[in-house]
Amino acid sequence: MADYDVLIIEDDESVRTSCIQSLEIEGITASGAGSVEEAQKRLPPAFTGVIITDLRLPGLSGMDFLQQMQASDPAIPIIMITGHGDILTAVEAMRSGAYDFLPKPFSPQVLIQQVRRALEKRKLTLEVAKLRQQLAHVSDLDSRFLGHAQPMCELREMVRNIATTPANVMIHGETGTGKELLARCIHDLSGRPGNFVALNCGGLPETLFDSEIFGHERGAFSGATQKRIGKIEYAQGGTLFLDEIESMPMAMQIKLLRVLQERQIERLGANQPIPVDIRVISATKADLGVLAEQGEFRADLNFRLNVIELPIPPLRERREDIPLLFKYFAGVAATTFGRELPEIDTVKMQNYLTWPWPGNVRELRNEAERCVLGMTGEAGRHGSDHVLSLPQMVEHFEKDLIISELSKHHGNISQAAEALGIAKSTLFDKVKKYALQ
């Protein structure tokens, strides 16, 4: 980021100096350049201020510079300094995207007024862009990692807080809870420009580990007919996702630990180390601390990988999300298969609410797809030993309805209460009762 608010491009040194002094007296930091070529060298890639440029300059003209900036960053306000005979050119510049123009001679007061307005516009533009980016990220995370249960709300908030950091992450969760999906969400929110590279540690033979992870040079071993880029190098600048990390053999763990410590790799058959910049997200359904105590997992590798721990709750611990998830998966399946969205009766939904879901969200998605295709799995057929009472069923329905209305109205209590036909204070009480966020 630049350490000045205004960049002035003016070949007349006296005019340039006078403008800088006038602005700095008013607390506006400014810097000057005698030509477009000089300004281009000094202009930072993320400049957040305003540019003032003369139309007539040695080398590239102010109009040429305006056209270049419109192509690279049209949001930067550019004020054109014009002579008496350049008014028509100034009007053309305004049509081409210039913020305003200053006809010579101009007073310091006019300069300051225009610059203040331009800086306010620039500030507002940057704030709107930042807000849109934040809203896009929030919406993306909420729409991809669904759930209104409190543990899910807390998990999404943790993801937003740590996504842009370089810290390694360990995701804990049972089979089918969505560990890889969460890892992809973290990568997408991180802003890292590199690839998201996923590797299942349980499905990789130890004999192929070195070649798969580090890559190899042509002729490194029999059958290596061409150079191969390994997973770590392919994730350069991005994220390496290691699923089922608990199943990684000890010999592989040692090699991975060395990479994390030295931040460099060597392809098989090469002697030149390659620096790597990766973020590692691991996933496990086991307690690595216990495995380390038993000598089945390296404790030092666990410490390296488990900087931030993100637990994903199993579906049975957030049953209130089952109706929402089922409706979502059924809607996707109906669109995919070209079928009508089926009606779910009370008995079947009660069966879903009481089923243990050992396969978690993945199992629920499969059940929703079967339902759309006119079939019913074990979850929908089973007779529950814990039949919900009428008050419990009413509570489930009420909670689901409140969540739905709050979502529609973006968390606005007043609008949701009006839509539900209840007092705002009553809705507050129910939100507190069901621990909704």
What are the DSSP calls for 379-432, one per residue? Answer: HHHPPPSSPPPHHHHHHHHHHHHHHHHHHHTTT-HHHHHHHHTS-HHHHHHHHH
Rounded to 5 degrees, φ, ψ at 268 are -60, 135
Distance CA 248, CA 233 (A): 19
> What does the pLDDT read at residue 202?
79
Q: Is the pLDDT of residue 48 over 50?
A: yes
Summarised one tens digit per residue, pLDDT across range 416-427 is 888 888 888 888
Give the torsion through C-alpha atoms of 407, 183, 165, 252, to 10 deg: 160
Summarised one tens digit per residue, pLDDT across range 386-401 is 555 667 667 766 777 7
> What does the pLDDT read at residue 34?
92
Residue 1: pLDDT band by 50, 70, 90 thresholds? Answer: very low
Sign of the torsion formed by the C-alpha atoms of 31, 37, 38 and 40? positive
Q: What CATH number is given for 147-313 in this structure?
A: 3.40.50.300
State in Å, rounded, how far the first CA of the chain is from the last one: 36
Do 6-128 and 316-433 come out as alike in CATH topology? Answer: no
**Higher-confidence position of 96 and 119:** 119
Query: In sequence order, what DSSP letters do the residues of 177-226 get, joined into one string?
Result: S-HHHHHHHHHHHHT--S-EEEEEGGGS-GGGHHHHHHEE-TTSSTT--S
Q: Where are the domains of the chain?
A: 6-128, 147-313, 316-433
Q: What CATH number is given for 316-433 in this structure?
A: 1.10.8.60
Separation in Å, CA 102 to CA 114, 184, 204:
9, 50, 67
Sign of the torsion formed by the C-alpha atoms of 216, 220, 222 and 225? positive
Bridge partners of residue 50, in order along the sequence: 6
Residue whose tokens read 């199992």: 363
Residue whose tokens read 């929110």: 189
Summarised one tens digit per residue, pLDDT across range 167-177 is 999 999 999 99
Sign of the torsion formed by the C-alpha atoms of 324, 328, 329 and 333? positive
In terms of CATH, what superfamily is 6-128? Response regulator (3.40.50.2300)
Q: Is the pLDDT of residue 102 over 80?
A: yes
Single-letter code of the amino acid located at 339: R
* 348, 323 Cβ separation under 8 angstroms: no
Global pTM reads 0.59
Q: Is the pLDDT of residue 226 over 90?
A: no
Q: Ramachandran region of residue 104, left (φ > 0), alpha (ψ -120 to 50) or beta?
A: beta
* 155, 321 Cβ separation under 8 angstroms: no
Q: Is the pLDDT of residue 337 over 90?
A: no
**Span 90-108, mean pLDDT?**
86
